[in-house]
């Protein structure tokens, strides 16, 4: 990976729909160069997906203390829980980001997490602003 790869990834991070032609023009390279580099970055795992950055009215980080590793998969599959579920170090084992349209649906998602077998406890921090 070189500086051009990093510049391409930064552009795509800001706007994953930006065309390869536009990126090439800004970086002073050909469209084929951008296309080939993106393909290589995808193959190497540096680019894993192109996504929508949805900013929901209610977002919360829920840190979860668990007894079993399988709990991460269960939490990831819950409706209302984003696919961003990470194992973390410290007092808690997992953090997940919940994005919802109402405080009620946020509370329901947290309640569902708390009822999963193996969940010992949760701490929730709601995004402000």
Name the band, by pLDDT with cuts 50, 70 and 90, for residue 90.
Answer: very high
Contacts 24+ apart (CB under 8 A), 112-116: 112/78, 112/80, 113/62, 113/64, 113/75, 113/78, 113/81, 116/71, 116/74, 116/75
The pLDDT value recorded for residue 1 is 81
Structure confidence by residue, pLDDT tens digits, 18-35 = 999 999 999 999 999 999
**How far apart are the C-alpha atoms of 106 and 52, rounded to whole Å?**
20
**% of the chain exceeding 90 in pLDDT:** 45
Name the band, by pLDDT with cuts 50, 70 and 90, for residue 73.
Answer: confident
CB 82 within 8 A of CB 72: no
3-state secondary structure of 83: strand
Closest CA to 91 of 111, 114, 69, 66: 66
- The domains found in the chain, sorted by start residue, are 3-44 (1.10.10.10), 58-126 (3.30.70.920)
The pLDDT value recorded for residue 55 is 65
């Amino acid at each position: 990976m070189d500086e051009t790869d990093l510049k391409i990834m930064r552009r795509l991070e800001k706007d994953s729909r930006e065309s390869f032609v536009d990126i090439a023009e800004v970086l002073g390279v050909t469209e084929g160069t951008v296309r080939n580099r993106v393909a290589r970055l995808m193959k190497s795992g540096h680019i894993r997906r192109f996504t929508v950055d949805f900013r929901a009215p209610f977002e919360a980080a829920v840190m979860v203390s668990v007894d079993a590793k399988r709990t991460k998969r269960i939490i990831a599959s819950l409706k209302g829980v984003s696919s961003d579920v990470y194992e973390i170090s410290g007092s808690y084992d997992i953090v997940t980001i919940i994005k919802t349209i109402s405080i009620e649906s946020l509370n329901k998602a947290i309640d569902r997490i708390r009822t999963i077998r193996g969940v010992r406890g949760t701490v929730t921090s709601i995004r402000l602003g």
